[in-house]
Structure 1
C-alpha cells in the first residue's frame, strides 16, 4: 500500500485497492505455465460474452498485435467489489501483460494513473462504467504505449 500513498481517488471507489488487486492477479497468473487462463483465445467469443455477462457491461478483448502481443485468454476473478476479469496477452519472447477489469461506479476518469510495485507496473483508468488496469513487468514507456493502445481500441 505504501507505493500508492496519497492517492485515494476512485477507480471504482478505491484506486489503491483496485490497482493492488490488479498487480496481485498479474503476479499470480502471469507466471503460470499450464493454466494461465480459464478460457483460451481460441474461444474468444465465449470468453468475452461470459465475462461481459458476469461484469454486467459489454467487454472487448483489444487487439494488441501491433504492439507485439497476442491474446492468450482470460479468467473470471473476484475482489472486494465483486466480480472482476483478467485478460492475458503474450509476446513472441513469452513476456505477459494483463488487463484487469471490474465495474466502476461514479463519473468517468479517463486520465491514466501510474503505479509501481517492485518490478510490476500498471497504468489504470476508469471509462464507460468499467475500471481498467494494464499491468506488466515492462518499462514505463512501453507499458504506457500499450495502455494507450488498449484505451484507443476500446473507444474506437
Structure 2
C-alpha cells in the first residue's frame, strides 16, 4: 500500500481506484467523495477514463500485425514456420502501479477538458480525416470468417462440390458468380485441389476453390464479380489474426488467395494464380 497524502487529489483517487491505499486512507477518501461534489465528479471522470483506456488498449491488442513482421518473427533463427503458428502476446498485468496510472488519468482529464469529440471527428480543410475511428467491413472480412470455419473441417465437409466433379465446377461457379475462370493446377506448388464452394460476401455470390498442402494446411482462392478498378493486377497483402490474404483486381472481378499467415510463399503463390486463373 502507498501513502498518497499530500499528493494531488487526482493521483490519490487513481490510487484509490487501483486499491493501492491503506484502509484508513480509503475511508478518508470515501468520506471526502461522499461530501464533496468536486471530488465525486473527479472520481467519475477517472472511472470513465479507465474504462475508455482499457477498451482502447484491448482494441489495440486485436489490431492486425503487419504480415511481413509476422513472417520475420516466425522465420527467425531456429523457428519452423510450419510448426510455430501463433505469435504469443505477453499477458497483460491486471494491476498497474500508481504513477503510470496517474499519468494516464491526467491525460484523460486533458482530453475531456479539450473536447475529445472535436479531436476525433475533426477533418482538415481538405476534408481528409485526421483519425479513422473504424474501418468499414469489406468482402475480405467475410471471406476470412468463412475460411476460419471451413479450414477446420474434415475432408468430407471441407468442400461443397468435390474435386472429382472436374470441369463441371468451372461451369457451375462461373454461371453463379458471373466470372469466367480456368481452374488453377497448383500441384507444382505442393497444393492439391480439394473442391469448391459457393459463398456470399458483401451481399454477392463468391466462388471458393479449396486446396491443401502436404501438412494439411488449407488454402483458398476466392473471387466475385465487381466494378472494374484502376489497380488491375496490383497485389495487396492483409491479415486477419492468423489468416493471411493476398488480393487483387482483374477486369470486372476481385480475387483473393487465403492461407496461413506463417506461409512465406503466399505472395508468390498469388502471383502464379493471378496469371493462371
TM-score normalised according to structure 2 size: 0.49
Q: What whole-Å deviation, never above 9, does each CA across 1:66-94 have from its counterpart, x for those lacking one?
A: 11001100011112231111110011221
Aligned residue runs from structure 1 range 26-105, under 5 A: 26-33=147-154, 34-105=156-227
Query: How far apart, CA to CA, are the structure 1 residues paired with 2:229 and 2:149?
Result: 31
The alignment status of 1:106 with 2:228, answered yes or no, reads yes
Query: How far apart, CA to CA, are the structure 2 residues paired with 1:138 and 1:63?
Result: 22
- Deviation >6 Å, runs of 4+: none
Larger Rg: 2
Query: How far apart, CA to CA, are the structure 1 residues paired with 2:228 and 2:274?
Result: 19
Q: Give the aligned partner of residue 90 of structure 2.
A: none
Number of corresponding residues: 147
* 2:260 maps to which of 116, 128, 137: 137
SS at match of 1:141: coil
SS at match of 2:167: helix
SS at match of 1:63: coil
Query: How far apart, CA to CA, are the structure 2 residues paired with 1:18 and 1:112?
Result: 16
Contact 1:108 1:127 in 2 (8 A): no
Unpaired runs of 5+ residues, structure 1, are 9-13
Select the structure with the greater relative contact order (CA < 8 A; seq sep ≥ 6).
Answer: 1
- CA drift of 1:145 comes to 1.2
Contact 1:30 1:98 in 2 (8 A): no
* 1:19 maps to which of 117, 140, 144: 140
Query: How far apart, CA to CA, are the structure 1 residues paired with 2:63 and 2:253?
Result: 25
Contact 1:39 1:47 in 2 (8 A): yes
TM-score normalised according to structure 1 size: 0.84
- CA drift of 1:23 comes to 1.1
Which structure is higher in helix share? 2
- CA drift of 1:25 comes to 1.6
Q: What whole-Å deviation, never above 9, does each CA across 1:80-116 have from its counterpart, x for those lacking one?
A: 2311111100112211101111111132522011111
Contact 2:246 2:256 in 1 (8 A): yes
- CA drift of 1:141 comes to 2.9
Q: Give the aligned partner of residue 11 of structure 1.
A: none
The alignment status of 1:150 with 2:269, answered yes or no, reads no
